Structure 1
Amino acid sequence: MAMKETVNGIDNRIDINNNNNNNNNDSDEETYEYVSLSERIASYQKKLEAEQRKLEKPCKTKSDYGRPLEGSKTQARGIKAYDTIAQEIRDLCTFIANNGTKNDDNTITITFGQLFESYEMLSNKLVGILLRACKHGFVHFEGEILYQRRDDGVVITLLKMPPDDFKLAY
């Protein structure tokens, strides 16, 4: 015999034997466990509070705003990406030093067209790496960004070589 309570038109029966999905047709009687409305509300309230805790964002101060959580996989990927970029800056500066023209003032220069022609086989991120190297004071060129063909004559000057232990701050 099934127990049933109806409160405000809501049927409070729960099938504890899950007979609706059972292929066993030995009994025509369904078994239900009585659950009061207040117990159901309390159960849903606990689930709601657990979900809200998952959605809460950690309090961030100005120093860590826009940063991944300490020790997270996102932080590890970011550190790895910064290390890769630092290595590409070192590689680019080494390439310029080996393939550029040494000047009287001890600087090494190469035109963007020459660099693009020879370096494109090594990396498809030449302009982005040049911008990073310029930002950190390793190279200098006129303008904000360089475009193939339009800026082939722009001279890129190697100001200094990055140290072997050069890393970008994360």
Structure 2
Amino acid sequence: MSVSITVNGKHHVLNVASDTPLLYVLRNDLQLNGPKFGCGEAQCGACRVLVGHDATYSCVFPVGAVGAARVTTVEGLGQGKQLHLLQEAFLAEQAAQCGYCSSGMLIAAQALLERDANPDQETIRRELAGQKCRCGTHNRIVRAIQRAAKEWRA
């Protein structure tokens, strides 16, 4: 079956079953390594991508359900060598250790900032509840999102 999707601004027509998880298409067919396979059950958030403006667990989201929405992975946040302000804030706050959760955290943060340009700590923590970080850098991640939010508003 042929599926048509737009990922990071590029249109693709792929020969995949419509019930194939979006994560598999992103990683295997489009060679995008930002979204990670973590649990396969929408519990850890390592696989999250934006589908439209919604942070979506791509490990359980069928590629056929994307429809006309645009998909954005962490690779699509920045512009070439220019990092996105969230990526810069994560670096400045040393918010990543192993980095496995980082792409999902960045995507969740992007979705949050698109809805709320001035989130408080409680809101950020609530929005990140679906993201797991085994390294324990949650406090740094929250600070990074707050830093990015300041720049977002400026």
Shorter-chain TM-score bucket reads under 0.3
Q: Higher RCO, 1 or 2 (CA under 8 Å, sep at least 6)?
A: 2
TM-score, normalization: structure 2? Answer: 0.25
